[in-house]
Structures are given as C-alpha cells and as structure tokens.
Structure 1
Amino acid sequence: MQELGTSGAAARARAIYDYGHTAIFASTIDPRLHMLLYVPPTAADGRKLELLVAVHGTGRTSAIEFRDGFSEFGLYNDCAVLCPIFPMNVLGDGARSGYKYMIEGDIRYDEVVLSMVAEMGAKYGQDWSRFAMFGFSGGGHFTHRFAILHPERLWAASIGAPGSVTLLDPDRDWWVGIRNLPELFGRPFDAAALAKVPVHMVVGGADLETWEITHAEGSKYWMDGANDAGRTRGDRLRTLAKSFESAGVKVEFDEVAGVSHDRMSVLGHVKRFLASTLMEMRVR
C-alpha cells in the first residue's frame, strides 16, 4: 500500500479538520476564546460562501448543536457557519454571563467576533465583510447587542429568547439603554444602518420561567430599569421588537406555540428566515 507523501497528508488533514465539521480553533487575537465551524467542502475548490455566526447560550454546549444543526442549511445555501465559544470562568472568577453584555474585564467580545470572522475569512479566501448572526438565550443577548453596535456588518440578525434586552433608549446607560455607547464602545448608535438589517425575533409560546432572568437589586448586572422590559422572555422580546421598530427596523416576529426555552425547536423558523433573506439578497 502506497503511503501518502507530505503534500498528500497535508491535503488529507485539511479535508478532515478544516472543511465540513471542523476542529475547534483558538482565536489568534485571544487564545482564551475558541470557535468551531461548518465549512461546505465546495469552498476548497474556491466556491464563494456567505457566513452565519451562531452564538451559544449560557451552557456553551449549543455551539456544537448550532454548528451541526445549521450544517445542512449551510451546505445547500452556500453558507459557512462559525460558532464562537466563550468559556465560562474565562477570567478565573466563575462568571457565566460576561459575554452577553459585550465587555468582561479586558475582553471586548464584539471585537473578538469580528477578529474571528476576519481570521477565518482569510483562511478560507472569503469576503465576510458582512455576515448574518443568530443566537438563542445568552446568544440572543449577544446578537441584539451586536446588531446595535455593528449593524453595518450584518446582512441579517435572528434574535432568540434573550433573558434581558437593551432597548434603544437614549436616556438610559448600557446595558438597559444606549446613552453612553460612545464612552463605552467608541462608537455612536447608527439608527439608519440598523434599519437596513433584516431582523427576526423568535421565542417559544411556553417560555415562561423567570427564575434566571429576573435581576435582583445588588446583583452583578442590576441597574435601574433592569426588569422594566417585561416579566418573561416573550414579554421582553416583544418590548425589544417595539423598540427596534420605533427606530425604523423591520422586525419579523415568531412566537412558536407549545415550545418552552428550547433552542433546537426554533431552528426551523430561523432557517426559513435566513433562507428567505439570502434569496432576496442574491437577486438584487
């Protein structure tokens, strides 16, 4: 049996680890943070792809579930899937939720995602200057806040059942509102750019538990107005939709009957929205 040469072994390794369901990569800009992807094998032959960034919830395991759950969609829609992994306890303090609010210690999670996209775009020879983003629960936190901060980078955003929401309120500070964006993030809110982003919001009709989303006074992310958007995730997402719509954003809202806080049960609705948005984008 003939052994593979050096170039043959390298090609086989790329096929196994860099295409299809990839290995887990550390971010070059911050190796504490990781990512895994689904990259349609056709990209190895130079086929151009769009990109979906799918952001996990608090448990982090949904990074793999989303990568696998969107892989067939990616294959048939020429779309790679990048799933960041933001480990719990990344600063050694046991914290679970820092990434949801974009800033944790010395980490700016929005900038890390942009660097991941740039790094993988260069690796695969793709122009991912604009991409779509989906997140559920903690990932829904991340997705709508990323859309507020970087709307010009998105061709679509799908926001699933965030526990807390940032409203487009110029009279309240981050994270409840957006008054101090320039001071915190070095950029103002761009309502015109956000209005150009197709936005989808999805929540289960039976997503009614509040134990994890009610902010107690004195807790880490407590601030005045922390619970004002509503009691349940559905209430808060509807309030977010109204806030976005007041800024000129067109929001497509899905409340999925009979579904609780179950990320995988809403993926069909997300895929339908993304496929429809891709089709409209490609015929322009």
Structure 2
Amino acid sequence: MHPIPVNALAAPRRLRAPVGKVVQQSLPQHPQVEYFLYVPRTAPARDAPMVVSVHGIARNAVEHAFRFRDWAERTGCVLVAPLFRRDRFGQYQQLLPGGAGLLRADLMLHAIADEVARITGADAGRLHMFGFSGGGQFVHRFAMAWPERVATAVVGAAGWYTAPDPARRYPWGLGVEGGSTELRFEPERFLKVPAHVIVGARDVERDPALRKSKRLDRLQGRNRVERGRRWIEAMRAAAESRGLDAEKFSFTELPGADHSFTAAATRWGLGEQVFGLFEFEALHVSA
C-alpha cells in the first residue's frame, strides 16, 4: 500500500476561515490550487467531520459549496469544494496529470484536506466524499486508490467507472503493470469503504459529455443509470468473493431527476440523500 503523502493530523482550530460564510481559499504551498470552504456555526471546536464535494466538467465548485452549506450547518461538518481548473489538472477525473506540468488532483486533495484541518481543526483523517458527474469519477477512483483516507464515497451520476477487476488496465480496471501510473489498488482495502451511487431516473440521455464506445457500452451500459447500477453490482460481487460485507454498496435513483446538479440539489433532494449516506460518528455540536 502506498502511504498518504501528507500529514493528516488536525491542529486546534485557528480562526483564519470565517464561520458561516463560503470563502475561496488557496494552498500556501501551491497558490494556483484553489478550493471553497464553509465552516458552519454548528461545528464543534475541533474534530468536526470533513465533507468534500467535487464538481464535474462544469467546474462549478462554488455552487457545490452554496448548495450544501445548509446541510453542513445541520450536521456540523466542515465543507470543502476543490476547484480543479482545466489548465492545471488535465485528467482530474482519472487522478492523472494528463500532461507535462499539470497536477495530480488526488495529491492536491490530500494537501487541501490537510490545510483545512490545520486552519479549522476539522478531522481530515477520514473524508466523507461526494462527486457529481466527472466529480463522481474522481471520488470513486480516489476511494479505490486511497481507501485509508475515505470514510464514505457517494458517487453522483458518473459517466463511467473503474471496475474492481485486476485483469483490466487502469482506468478501465485496477491493472497498473508496466509503470503506467503511480497509483496502486488493493481490493481488500477499498472494498471496506462504503460506496454509494445516486443517479437521476431520467439521466438516460447519451449527451455529448457522456463517454461512449462500443466497448464501454458493452461492459458498463449505455447510460449513467445502467453504468452506476452495474458498478455497484460489480463492487458487491467483488466484496462477496473476498468474504467482505457487500451491504456497504448501494444504488439509488432520484425520481424525476436528469443530469443536472442544480436541479438534483434544489428539486430532487440530492443533499438529503448524500448527507444521509455519510456515516458520521456522534457529534457534540456547539452553537
């Protein structure tokens, strides 16, 4: 197993981030790496759960922060929405830099979580993660590559998935032979992380943003509903074959929802679904 490349220990809260307000931050060591942060008024003085919400190719990180801030208040969670800009991160959905001089999104998320822990006192050791569309791709692959840092992974309408299959080369599967990537995958570890897929029941259009090929359609299905359901089935089967708990994986359809984060969050109860799936420990919330 490859170690986490940053120190995830949280320091006591230093009041550098306003409470009850969405703010844009950047990493001191990487000023080009930005994220949106919401520290709720209800957060405990230290060790609040940390929720990470990852945008799709629309790069609407600030919307994620605003749409979920009320849920952060209700649950006492510190909310982080990283911004993976196209010109800096390339293939962020696949945890790959995608070109010379570009950054790996997974390593930068480690650094963001560590920095948020330092300035807020939140618990960055086990992240509660959600991603929509391309962000869902990022979240499930992050959980598979770095399971020791993920408490729960909720995948919203990802376009396609990495199968828990060592025989297929990454990002189709877990195979990384030949040094094609620094990532390493250990099913016995990542199959212990609860993972859930949420897709709109009407998210069946083969729109321009959906990756398509005869091979992908055959292996995973023709739309996001089929692909999400098949990935959960594959994760359950992989867990069962190793004697692990297959009930950690679930698939949910949002009635009436299509492929719109805004509509899912405002009309179809996405926040309630997502935060209901996060497995928070009991909190001692202070006003």
| Structure 2 partner of 1:112 | 108
TM-score of the aligned structures, taking structure 2 as reference length: 0.80
| Structure 2 partner of 1:60 | 59
> SS at 1:41's partner residue?
coil
Deviation at 1:269, TM superposition (A): 4.3
TM-score of the aligned structures, taking structure 1 as reference length: 0.80
> SS at 2:21's partner residue?
strand
RMSD (Å), alpha carbons:
2.5
Consecutive unaligned residues of structure 1, counting only runs of 5 or more, are 1-13, 92-96, 217-223
> SS at 1:130's partner residue?
strand
Task: Say if 2:207 is the partner of 1:214.
Answer: no
Report if the CA contact (8 A) 2:130-2:274 is conserved. Answer: no
> SS at 1:70's partner residue?
helix
Superposed, 1:10-29 pairs within 5 Å as: 18-29=18-29
Superposed, 1:8-157 pairs within 5 Å as: 18-43=18-43, 46-61=45-60, 63-90=61-88, 98-104=91-97, 105=99, 106-157=102-153
Deviation at 1:185, TM superposition (A): 4.7
Q: 1:245 to 1:112 in 2, by over 3 A?
A: same
CA deviation map 1:226-255 (0-9, x unaligned): 443111111111121112112224212111
| C-alpha distance in structure 2 between counterparts of 1:213 and 1:150, whole Å | 26
User: Counterpart of 1:101 in structure 2: which amino acid?
Assistant: Q
Q: 1:41 to 1:182 in 2, by over 3 A?
A: farther
1:235 to 198, 219, 226: 226
> Structure with the greater relative contact order (CA < 8 A, sep ≥ 6): 1 or 2?
2
| Structure 1 partner of 2:272 | 271
Task: Say if 2:185 is the partner of 1:192.
Answer: no
Between the aligned residues of both structures, percent identity stands at 29
Deviation at 1:47, TM superposition (A): 4.4
Report if the CA contact (8 A) 1:171-1:179 is conserved. Answer: yes
Deviation at 1:133, TM superposition (A): 0.5
> SS at 1:241's partner residue?
helix
| Larger radius of gyration between Structure 1 and Structure 2 | 1
Report if the CA contact (8 A) 1:181-1:187 is conserved. Answer: no
Deviation at 1:79, TM superposition (A): 0.4
Deviation at 1:89, TM superposition (A): 2.7
> SS at 2:184's partner residue?
coil
- The number of equivalent residue pairs is 254
CA deviation map 1:136-161 (0-9, x unaligned): 11111111111111111111111011
Consecutive unaligned residues of structure 2, counting only runs of 5 or more, are 1-14, 240-245
Q: 1:42 to 1:203 in 2, by over 3 A?
A: closer
